[in-house]
Homo-oligomer: A and B are copies of this chain.
Amino acid sequence: MARRGPQGGGAAKRDRILRAAIRIFSQKGYFNSRISEIARLAGVADGTIYLYFKNKDDLLISLFEEKMGEVVSDVRARVAEGGDALSRLRIFIGNHMDLLVREAGLIEVIQVELRQSNKFMKEYVPVKFLEYLDVLGGILDAGKLEGIFRPDLNVTLARRAIFGALDEISLAYVLSRKRKYDPAEAADEIYRIFAVGLRGQAPTMGGKP
């Protein structure tokens, strides 16, 4: 998040580089992306990238943190507009699926690369991602207090489950060329499942359990 490199007018150039990186990383993946390609797309010389970012890793991480930071701020504001926990959950889910359209490249990078980075970049903690999860956790906690979700709900697990569901569906959407379903409809279905699922008791099973 630290602004390295030239100030002022440079900010626009820095942003051009970040956008180019999103585009290239999302198309080819981090390891298959070439700095020279990002530079070309950003309309700068290769070396210029190193005025704004320490190295290729730093470019990826800056992209995560800064762009994800914007996403987090945005979803926070949107969720705050909601009423009870259910309506806020609805907003959160709807917003997530909507991001697929609004911020396609960024989402693709995050989905594919965040896992790699999480696991293989030493010393990298995905702060902004954890904040995003916290927004969801806050909704679930509130829902328990409001009596909307069952009191013994494991929020830590549940928020991961919801995020995982959203993320997987996003990925399927992103990967399939055919775009079989509509993100808004998908948001509805996911909401229905969790709105009910977080509230009630499990039914009894039939047959050999």
| Residue in contact with A169 in the complex, picked from B82, B83, B157, B166, CB distance below 8 Å | B157
What chain B residues lie within 8 Å of A192 (beta carbons)?
Answer: 197, 201-202
For residue A203, CB closer than 8 A to chain B, the reply is yes
Given A196-B196, A199-B196, A207 contacting B83 (CB threshold 8 A): yes
Measured between alpha carbons, how far is A86 from B201 in the docked complex, in Å?
13
Q: Chain B CB within 10 Å — which of A119, A158, A169, A174 has the most?
A: A119
Q: Flag if A167 contacts B164 (CB, 8 Å).
A: yes
Residues of B within 8 A of A2 (CB): none
The complex places the Cα of A174 from the Cα of B164 at a distance, in Å, of: 14
Q: Which of A7-15, A42-50, A67-75, A110-118 lies at the binding interface?
A: A110-118
CB distance from A85 to the nearest CB of B (A): 9
Among B84, B120, B200, B201, contact of A29 (Cβ-Cβ < 8 Å): B120
Can you report 13 residue pairs joining A to B where beta carbons are below 8 Å apart? A32-B120, A86-B204, A86-B205, A86-B206, A87-B206, A87-B208, A90-B209, A112-B115, A158-B193, A160-B165, A168-B168, A192-B201, A194-B197
Q: Which residues of B contact A116 (CB under 8 A)?
A: 29, 31, 112, 116
**Quick check: A84 and B196 within 8 Å, CB to CB?**
no
Q: Is there a chain B Cβ closer than 8 Å to A39's Cβ?
A: no
A contact patch SS: helix
Bound Cα distance from A195 to B166, whole angstroms: 18
Q: A residues engaging B (CB < 8 A)?
A: 28-32, 81-84, 86-87, 90, 108, 111-112, 115-116, 118-120, 148, 153-154, 156-158, 160-169, 171-172, 174-175, 180-181, 186, 189-209
**Closest Cβ–Cβ distance, residue A153 to chain B (whole Å):** 8
Contacting residues, chain B, for A86 (C-beta < 8 A): 203-206
Inter-chain contact B156/A208, CB cutoff 8 Å: no
Contact B175 A169 (CB under 8 A): no
The closest CB in chain B to the CB of A115 belongs to B112
Q: Of the candidates B158, B161, B189, which one forms a contact with A154 in the assembled complex, judged by CB atoms under 8 Å apart?
A: B189
Most chain B CB neighbours (cut-off 10 Å) among A168, A172, A174, A206? A168
